[in-house]
Amino acid sequence: MNRRDFFKIVGATGAAAATAGCQGAGEHILPLVVPNEQLVPGVASWFATVCRECPAGCGVLARNRDGRVVKLEGNPDHPVNAGALCIRGQAALQGLYHPDRFAGPLVRAGGGLTPATWENAQKLVVERLAALRGAGKGRAVALVTQLEQGSLGVLADRWTQALGARPHVTLEPFAYEAIRAASRITFGRDAIPYYALEEAQVVVSFGADFVETWLSTVGYTRAFARMHAFRDGRAGTFIHVEPRQSLTASNADEWVRNAPGTEGMVALAVLRLMLEEGLGDRRFADAVARVDVKQVAERSGVAEATLRHLARAFGHARPGLAIGGGVAVSGTNATETQVAINLLNAAAGNVGRTVRFGPDSAYGRVTPYAEVAQLVQAMQRGEIEVLLLGQGVNPVHALPAGLGFAEAARRVGLVVSLATQPDETTALAHVILPDTHWLEAWGDYAPREGVTGLLQPTMSPVRDARPLGDVLLAVGRAVLGSEEGKGPLPWASFEQYLKAAWEPVVRGQWAAALRQGGVWRDVAPAAVQATAGPLAAGAAALEGDAGGFALLAYPSLRFYDGRGASRAWLQEAPDTMTQAVWDAWVEVPAEAAARLGVATGDVVRVSSPHGALELPAYVSATLHPQAVAIPLGHRYAPYHVPRYVAAAPTAMSPAALLGPATDAASGGAAWLGVRVTLARTGARRPLAILQATHDQDHRELAQHVDLRAAREQALRGRAGRHETISMYADQVYPGYHWGLAIDVDACVGCQACVVACQAENNVAVTGKASAAYGRQLHWIRIERWAEGPAAHPTNTFLPMLCQHCEVAPCEPVCPVFAAYRTEEGLNGQVYNRCVGTRYCGNNCPYHVRRFNWFQYEFPAPLEVQLNPDVTVRQLGIMEKCTMCIQRIIAGKDHARDAKRTVRDGDILTACQQTCPTRAITFGNLTDDTSAVTGLRHSPRAYTVLEELGTRPGVTYLKKVVREHA
Amino acid sequence: MSDQPTGTPTFADVNRDVLRTLEPPGHRYFAWMSVVALILAGGILFWTGQVWWGIGMAGKRVPQMWALYITTFVFWIGIGHAGTLISAVLYLFRARWRTSIYRAAEAMTIFAVLTAGLFPLIHAGRMWFAYFLLPYPNQRYLWPNFRSPLVWDVFAISTYLSISTVFFIVGLVPDIAALRDASTGWRRRIYALLALGWEGSDNQWRHYRRAYGLFAALATPLVLSVHSVVSWDFAMALVPGWHSTLFAPFFVDGAIFSGFAMVAVLVLPMRHFFGLHAYIRDKHLDAMSKLILVTSLVLTYFYLSEIFTALYSGDHFEKASLFWKVTRTYAWALWLMYFCNCIAPLIFFVKKARTHPVVIYVVSILVLIGMWFERFNIIVPSLAHGFYPYTWGIFVPSPTDTGIVIGSFAWFFLLFLGFIKLMPSLSIVEVKETLPPPMRDTRHGAHH
């Protein structure tokens, strides 16, 4: 049986069950007359595919249980993410099972959208297209999709050519065009290179927020951990320049706060000083001859001493790496800034070593913003009659309001959306032909040269959806009047097209390529020569009130450009820096807040020349005093209101404030482009902030050690450790003793584990009010603890979960033995026995036990995602981290079948599995050779609140802090 | 005694006066009953809602997994203490001033424990499984966890309830016999049943006295044990502000303190409305006031010890918890408690205040408020500022938990209002014992 037959059978049974479950229609139970040997009830199948939540294109393994995908994990073989997934990747399931997903095609009739058949809906489009083609007005047709760097993109190009339409536009709001343009200018190569963070000794980032969204979050975070985490006495240094203390800045050994828009001049000053110190290639001296370091220090607010220190640190590194181009700092001078960064790399001899052309990023293939703007202008002029918008694009929400997309779209005769769920753009659409979710579709995607991932359906479609490729083929043929097998679009389906396209590559090894998740090869680095003319140090030009605040509109780790915002898991996972969930906010510098008389939670009116937003303030001591910051992409899905949030507020994304300004040299959107004014409204909208305080109050929850001391201890061991003394005998572990080790030094606070745990363990979503009131249910949380001066704190991220204490305070107080100690060192929780006295919750010093305050629901069809191996908890009972007991059981079964004991790697907890930095290690503490035992005896090891004598099974490794200059 | 009313009642007066309290009630009584029943109905509705929608309807959260329910539970258990103390301990010490108030106090005890007993059920997330806490035989050989103070609570409270109920009923027997003889119809049948065939023979009296003394001796340790056990709910836990060896005596004293205040709150209106001034005399009020004063002073000492221990221990968590309680969000509750429990009763150093019903009433109400807030201050602010700063948080009561707590007062007063119309709220027998018997020299019986 081949895979297609398999899917037919799964489809016949699964689709009926799944769709019936989704739509609440009558149930159709079909007997599985011919049992499928690949489908064993109760045993999961894994399908390799590619995550399409952003253009990073990480490899994914989808866990399919009885025809339904219940969990996503990173594909360990994939070169981009090597097994890890970010928070958005983990939450992709909520897009697949989204309660608002379109149930089928819709056609606008009399103002509202009404259901239609595929035939009728497609006919509407076909007729219009055929008419235009007949009238020779093919140019009035535009096709806009997200970045499809693969066969679908090629097919789309072919389709537009066949129909004589405008060239296919790939729309990615964040396209890093400045990097591309600067590469063109400095190196003569129109590409975004691969930055080998993992090989650098010193990384200097000028606003490149790689922990959050920059280019390839998982890939670069992983590389960063390899470069930066303390290992064998070695650790790299990371310096970050940004006006705002972002999550990436928090992970830097040194965060340098500069005035908004001055990254370029800082880079040039660093280059000049570096050359002055004789630490770089003198060929570039001319380029920075006109740079006045004093003036740069004055204008950027970065002290000359700091600049010199940066120059020395960077110049001495062998090799170093300078990166830039983060969305939040991409202003009108973004290309100049990036050119300066290129020169830094070139002067330090990093090009070809840590800056590698060859394995170029797919971002370099995005349609330039200038062309998008041209399309919008054409729409405005009424030149576009049919606009087809693929899934994943929501230009009305994601593009700067100043571009005027929404207005322009209203002048288009027929807007066809292929989105999977309603958004601001589908609200303007006339016909909706819902695309399949990427977990249901065939495809391929190449995130960078040399790496092409394969997408395959991991389950039958949840809703009545058709893949974009099939729709293009069907519509195209109907318009052209050609038959299947003939004409420019002969393929019966996109799947057939894909296989035909791949045949020369895989040469019959299709199944193997699918199993691996794609094909990859090493790409030889391309040699490039840097050339540079004299450069001037300019700041970004900002539009608006000169006395106002520079608006830092930054893409968020959780929502990207807004694609993630419809997922309730992402809404409820806190933003690590503010620990806020659900609502959006405007980060206001403390001085300005005091002047305005606003506190956190007071609604502030933020006005720019292009619009205004009313958002609750978040008062920040760290933000540059001349800036305010608002995360991009905040929006709610229809089903979130009023279930999780009280009322639908108006726009929350700062895209509404941005103008049409662009970076002149690259044509890319200037996300840092306006100044805004703030006004107090007098209203209050308290934010749901999960962490009560970022001050540890000397409790040493998150501990750190000096790099020098860590080296010393790594060499000689740590003195002065004492074992806890007790009158009672230690617990004896006859078999296993499960334990976790968490490296605080490696944790970057990305929250991927939080959502991975939520997906694995059926953790419910509670909504804003509950979360604000300490009733969130996450089994693991990432805490941010700040130390040092309020304006410039050192942040430590502490993942906190059940500590599985040997002397657990929760256990003796439970009157009914619902909380008990297992023989394998876990704090068990028997849901059926729990009466709900909540005594354990009070007595847990870590407060990691979670109570079911209500009967939490999983709105259909989200219940299909529930992990069948984990109980769904009833109201009135306690729950908490089980160390993924279901995985432990499966791992033990597996080892028993192999007639051996469990080894490292047999069992990965969900949080460990997805961690991009490998900060979490699970294993058997009775095994002296296991990794976790080794870490438990590391000189950096400590347990949280050790003085209470709880003897946790979770060991933490201290963060290693660098001596500052 | 100079403050002794002039008209010493005779035995006939006693019979008349006590039985008068049992006369068919007037409109005013029913009006009060309706008000109380209405409030109770509201409380029951809130509880129903909470069972239906979940414990989230109450204002609890992380870190206050416990809040108003346990506060009110401990409050009612404390109230219950004065009853046993008055009836048993004072009986054994032959404090004869107890006679006019002990019946009401005993009834109060039982009703208070009955009220308190509701709260563990109200509090539980899945109250329909609360029977898991009982050690009942089952095929799975599952027992409750005898290490858990909550299981100790189950035993302590059920023991307390059964002993005080038996004690109460035994004490009632001769009086009920008197009622039986004076009543007709359905009341007579019920009273006959409860009187256990009492005839008043010498033999019966002898047995009765022995049994009463025995029960008094049995009940006495419970005065200490029950509230000690309840205090261990907190003392056995790790929470800063709870983990203290001080808690058992501290709770027992507080319980007696609040119990006496509640007795005063119940007895003073009874005396006023039923004209029982001849039986509940100023010397009784004086004795109660003195006890309230003494227990208040002892409590003040405990408060000081608590603060001292936290400071002197040098324990960072304890100190942080204390400073937070004294100065932050709930500081008003703490200072209100100090005022009500430590300052207000000091007025009883003035002799006139000790016998002035209005002063006693006001002070008692303040003491009750203060003692409710004492439990609140132990539970809510301590949990608010525990070991883990991430989860520090403020509890805000919801309509549900407020409604249920108010409903519990209604439930208590409903029971008490029923009691004063169905049972002799003064002990006919014991009051008579304190009076000069007819045909006897008045010099013997009047004083003690």
Note the ipTM here.
Answer: 0.91
In this predicted structure, what is the pLDDT of residue A935? 94
How would you label A889-927 residue by residue, b for 16+ Cβ within 10 Å and e otherwise?
Answer: ebbbeeeeeeeeebebebbbbbbbbbbbbbbbbbbbbbb
Residue B1 lies in a domain: no
Total count of residues recorded for chain A: 965
For residues B98-131, one letter each, b for 16 or more C-beta atoms within 10 angstroms of the residue's C-beta and e for the rest, the string is bbbbbbbbbbbbbbbbbbbbbbbebbbbbbebbe
Is it true that the peptide bond before A789 is cis, omega within 30 degrees of 0?
no
Confirm if A178 and A666 have CB atoms less than 8 A apart: yes
Domain membership of residue B303 (yes or no) is yes
B3: in domain: no
Instruction: Tell me the residue range of the domain where B186 lies.
Output: 11-131+155-445
| For testing contact with chain B, the best of A853, A947, A950 (most B CBs within 10 A) | A853
pLDDT, chain B, mean: 88
A704-961: CATH topology = Alpha-Beta Plaits (3.30.70)
pLDDT in the model for residue B85: 82
In this structure, is the dihedral angle defined by the CA atoms of residues A901, A906, A907 and A912, taken in order, positive or negative?
Answer: positive
pLDDT at B93: 80
Interchain contact, A773 vs B239, CB within 8 Å = no
Does B328 fall in a domain?
Answer: yes
A947 touches chain B (CB under 8 A): no
Contact B57, B362 (CB under 8 A): no
* pLDDT tens column, A337-346: 999 999 999 9
Residues 6 or more apart whose CB falls under 8 angstroms from that of A847 comprise A841, B62, B63, B386, B387, B388, B390, B391
Residues of chain A with CATH 3.30.70.20: 704-961
| Fold assignment, A177-364 | Dimethylsulfoxide Reductase; domain 2 (3.40.228)
Residues 6+ apart with CB under 8 A from A521: A450
State the amino acid at position A519 in one-letter form. Answer: V
Tokens of B50: 């909470």
CA separation for the pair A792, A815 (Å, rounded)? 47
Say what angle helices B399-422 and B27-53 make with each other, to 10 degrees. 140
pLDDT at A849: 96
Fold category of A106-173+368-435+466-490 in CATH: Rossmann fold (3.40.50)
Q: What is the CA radius of gyration of chain A?
A: 28
- CA distances to B62, B261, B340 from B405, rounded to whole Å, are 21, 19, 20
Compare all CA atoms of chain B with the CA of A774 and give the residue at the minimum distance. B62
Q: Are B237 and A813 in contact (CB under 8 A)?
A: yes
DSSP of B177-209 = HHHHHH--HHHHHHHHHHHTT----HHHHHHHH
A-facing residues of B in 374-393 (CB < 8 A) are 383, 386-393
Of the partner residues B130, B147, B387, the one whose CB lies closest to the CB of residue A835? B130
Q: Which parts of chain A have pLDDT scores under 50? A: 15-26, 965
In a domain, B4, yes or no: no
Asked if B148 lies within 8 A of A842 by C-beta distance, the reply is no
What pTM value is reported for the model?
0.92
Question: Which residues are CB-neighbours of A411 under 8 A, at least 6 positions away?
Answer: A379, A380, A382, A384
The residues, any chain, with a CB within 8 Å of residue B139's CB and separated by 6 or more, are none
In the three-class reduction of DSSP (H, G, I as helix; E, B as strand; rest coil), residue A794 is classed as strand
The confidence score (pLDDT) of residue A717 equals 79
CATH number for region A549-689? 2.40.40.20
SS3 B410: helix
CB contact (8 A) between residue B124 and residue A837: yes
| Among A693, A816, A855, beta carbon nearest to B145 | A816
Q: What distance in Å separates the CA atoms of residue B347 and residue B359, rounded to the nearest whole number?
A: 9
How many whole angstroms separate alpha carbon A785 and alpha carbon A944? 13
Question: Which residues are CB-neighbours of A468 under 8 A, at least 6 positions away?
Answer: A145, A152, A390, A391, A418, A435, A494
- Interface check for A697 against chain B (CB to CB < 8 A): the answer is yes
Of A845, A819, A943, A818, the closest CA to residue B242 belongs to: A845
Contact A553, A632 (CB under 8 A): yes
pLDDT band at residue B224 using 50, 70 and 90 as cut-offs: confident
B contact residues 161-180, partner A, Cβ 8 Å cutoff: none
| CA B200/CA B206 separation, integer angstroms | 10
Dist CA B53 CA A332 (whole Å): 55
List of chain A residues whose C-beta atoms are within 8 Å of the C-beta of residue B126: 834-836, 874-877
- When pLDDT is cut at 50, 70 and 90, the band that residue B421 belongs to is confident
C-alpha Rg value of chain B to the nearest Å = 23
Residue pair B405/B72 in contact by the 8 Å Cβ criterion: yes
What is the 3 state secondary structure string of A838-881? CHHHHHCCCCCCEECCCCCCCCCCHHHHCCCCCCCCCCCCEECC
Q: What is the pLDDT of residue A22?
A: 46
Strands (E) in B228-360, as ranges, are none
On whether any CB of chain A is under 8 Å from the CB of B319, the answer is: no
Residue B2 lies in a domain: no
Residue B443 in this model has a pLDDT that exceeds 60:
no
Residue of B50, B388, B396, B401 to mutate when probing chain A, most A C-beta within 10 A: B388
Q: Using 50, 70 and 90 to split pLDDT, how confident is the model at B89? A: confident
Q: Which residues in B lie closer than 8 A to residue A850 (C-beta atoms)?
A: 62
Cβ–Cβ gap A838/B125 under 8 Å: yes
- Number of CB pairs, chain A paired with chain B, less than 8 A apart: 157
Q: CB B149 to CB A813 under 8 A? A: yes
The dihedrals phi and psi of A527, each to the nearest 5 degrees, come to: -80, 135
Give me the residue from A695, A814, A842 closest to B389, CB to CB.
Answer: A695
CATH 2.40.40.20 domain position(s) in chain A: 549-689
What is the per-residue pLDDT for A960?
94
State the span(s) of chain A assigned CATH 3.40.228.10: 177-364
- DSSP-derived 3-state class of residue B43: helix
In chain B, how many domains are there? Answer: 1
> Does A876 contact B54 at a Cβ distance shorter than 8 Å?
yes
Pair of tokens at residue A307: 């600049």
Alpha-carbon dihedral A178, A183, A189, A193, rounded to 10 degrees: -90
